[in-house]
Amino acid sequence: MSTSNFFNYFFFFADARDAAMPPHHDLLPGLPAAMHRSYSLDVSAPLLRTQGYVDGRWISAASVFPVLDPATGQEIVRVSDCGPAEAKQAVDAAYKAFHSWKQYTAKERSVLLRKWFELLLLHKDELAQLITFECGKPMRESLGEISYSASFLEWFSEEARRVYGDIVPSPAKDRKLLLLKQPVGVASIITPWNFPSAMITRKVGAALAAGCTVVVKPAEDTPLSALALAELAEQAGIPAGVFNVVPCSRESTPSVGRVLCTDPLVAKISFTGSTATGKVLLKMAADTVKKVSMELGGHAPFIVFDSADLDKAVGGAMASKFRNSGQTCVCSNRFLVQSAVYDRFVEKLGGAMDAELRLGHGSEPDTTQGPLINARAAEKVLHQISDAVSRGAKVVKGGKRLDGSFMEPTLLADVTADMLCTKEETFGPLVPVIRFNTEEEALAVANATSVGLAGYFYSQDVRQIWRVAEALELGIVGVNEGLVSTPEATFGGVKESGLGREGSKYGIDEYLEVKYVCFGGLKP
């Protein structure tokens, strides 16, 4: 397969939804009767933007593409389908703006990022609605994402003033050695659909704080959150050209992506998405030796040892697995439970699923599980379930695909390491539980993968906690905790899960170069 075809096929691992979303005439069992009614997005005009945003102006393209509600398949709005010309225009605008933006003092950039943060919180309800309707998340999760999204702007508004260089002791008396940190330049920001607001601010907050300018290419499924961020950036006083957004359809994505990844004026690429796509972008970046950050696929283990507090382990499993209906890169994917507590854990987890999970449209207050992003995603989960059952797994809960792209939350017992669900990332509400006997066996299974983003384990043995935390081949480890993400800590993986780190004091370094200045000719 050629690079261009590979890029076209894998970019954002999304599929067109035509013929994928049947109308809601005959509801299948498991969905509430409320799904019979129609749902409408109630967001004020300034935040519901449908054009691209380039150089401080809202621009139209020659064509448009639909944004659909994944819960109903209904069209929400049509958005400008930007192409390579608009992408190039955005890169040029960002490059021009970079030369003035990098001259802003750290405090000036900090103040503007802080204003942007405050505007996100002020409009959190409307921003959360956008996420729920374009992404399918329950409103409570969407509100949580907006708080999480805003927190990166707050964090990097503070980090902007802490970009310190060094004065290095010189070996010679007639010179001073200085190490300066300077912004790399224009950054292409390519983000996924599952966190349509937070994945942008986690990257852009760091980039703008460092003095870089950006061109954002949001996922074709979820452009509305990115455009709302652009509106609020403008309201906050972010100068024209510093923050640009080029939404586009799946069909236009390869040509837009090539511009953002190959244009010589782009100095940096930051991408969150599949490992396959990340490899394609790395090849493209190589031709002009761009700086890259890659937050790629995961296959997180969730290990429960004999000494674990089972109630806490079940709570952690629920939080880690079913957030966004299992569609996060740090979702637990492989559940490994030690033999002595295996049956009790499966029983308790099944009870928690019955008690806590409610399927429905994200705007309904009782909903905890929305749809998957499209029918292809649901088909992938169903295929993994069928494969596991054919190899001897037992369906304890769920197991069925419902209307549209809804999937029953599913619990499988008697799972073995030869099943498909243990070999590839699911991105859906599937819990396959594997039995193990020894710590060494659990670690061998957990590490037997080419990726290493996040993982979790539950134990009350302090010596075991240190051993396992250090032995797991992962970038993120949760010990007796299922939700670990925070702007204060690093986010990123090892192996084929990516390059670089986001968040924390290290996140801003991804957008900086270190320049050595030797100031000589001084009198001793």
Residues identified as active-site: 295, 329
Q: Which of 192, 173, 222 is nearest to 69 (CA)?
A: 222
The CA R_g of the chain, rounded to the nearest whole Å, is 24
* Cβ atoms of residues 185 and 95 within 8 Å: yes
Q: Give how far the C-alpha of residue 245 lies from the chain's centroid of Cα atoms, to the nearest Å.
A: 17
- What DSSP string describes 319-378? HHHHGGGG-STTSEEEEEEEHHHHHHHHHHHHHHHHHH--BS-TTSTT--B---SSHHHH
Q: What is the β-pairing status of strands 213-217 and 243-245? A: parallel
Query: Cα(112)–Cα(92) distance, rounded to whole angstroms?
Result: 22
* Cβ atoms of residues 503 and 488 within 8 Å: yes
Query: Cα(491)–Cα(511) distance, rounded to whole angstroms?
Result: 15
- What DSSP string describes 453-464? SEEEEE---HHH
Helix (H, G, I), strand (E, B) or coil at 524: coil
Q: Which of 476, 5, 40, 45 is nearest to 254 (CA)?
A: 5
106 sits in which H/E element: helix 106-122
* Cβ atoms of residues 242 and 4 within 8 Å: no
Query: Cα(250)–Cα(277) distance, rounded to whole angstroms?
Result: 14
∠ at Cα 175 (174, 180), nearest 5°?
175
- What DSSP string describes 186-241? EEEEE--SSSTTHHHHHHHHHHHHHT-EEEEE--TT-HHHHHHHHHHHHHHTPPTT
Query: Which residue has tokens 């069928």?
Result: 386
335 token code pair: 């559940």
Helix (H, G, I), strand (E, B) or coil at 412: strand
